Amino acid sequence: MLEEQAMDEDDRFWDNLAEKYAAQPVGNPEAFERKIAVTKALMEPSDVVLNIGCGTGSLALRLASSGGQLHGLDISKEMIRIAREKTAAQQVDNVSFHIGTLNTFDVFGPESLDGACAYSILHLLEDREAALAWVFSRLKPGGFFVSSTVCLGNTWVPYAPLLAVMRWLGKAPMVNIISTDLLVEELRAAGFIDIEQPEVGAEATVAFITAKKPS
């Protein structure tokens, strides 16, 4: 019951933030462009790719020209509404957006995805290990996984008390304090190989990681 209540709170938080989120510029555009370039380089023209935590669809739409079918998943119906409006306005016909969580998302079965992306989402998940296991199971052998994750555990700054207060005030979602080293360990434990951290010029608190499922 408490997990369902927390999920409802996060749904409302992102729904309320959707319009502002869609309007604000990317915080580090140079790094974002390099992340997109790295992700596109992993894709084939026929690939089916899932963007987990897609927000208002910016990443999925940028990747659309490099893949066969792009799918975006997000818990916020308002984020997805905006993403679908952007898709229609840009006349992109190979991108679909879905409302839900990995627990409820049943569009893809085991080994049906060529790739998956998780930008700015892993640190927000209650059960990150279960999410990584889900991604691993859905990827085809040799499939790729790209993640960009806020890792506040990389610094000595005591973020936890501040985030707790902000969440209590409704100004922040649930955020897990993790480190890059921990995330890499979790990826290995999930079965991923070829785990790399391309240099994209991201902040010290952001871990940009690529990995693959064994062929």
- What is the phi/psi pair of residue 49, to 5°? -130, 135
- How many Å apart are CA 113 and CA 132, to the nearest integer? 14
Domains of the chain: 2-212 (3.40.50.150)
Residues 11/24/86/54 CA torsion (nearest 10 deg):
-40
Residues 187/188/190/195 CA torsion (nearest 10 deg):
50
Q: What is the pTM of this model?
A: 0.89
- Copy the structure tokens of residue 212: 């693959």
Q: What is the pLDDT of residue 172?
A: 65
List per-residue pLDDT tens for the chain, 215 residues long.
323 334 566 778 878 878 887 778 787 899 999 999 999 999 999 999 999 999 999 999 999 999 999 999 999 999 999 999 999 999 999 999 999 999 899 999 999 999 999 999 999 998 999 999 999 999 999 999 999 999 998 876 677 666 666 666 676 677 888 999 999 999 999 999 999 999 999 999 999 999 999 99
Q: What is the pLDDT of residue 23?
A: 79
- How many Å apart are CA 148 and CA 197, to the nearest integer? 10
Q: What is the pLDDT of residue 140?
A: 98
Q: What is the pLDDT of residue 170?
A: 72
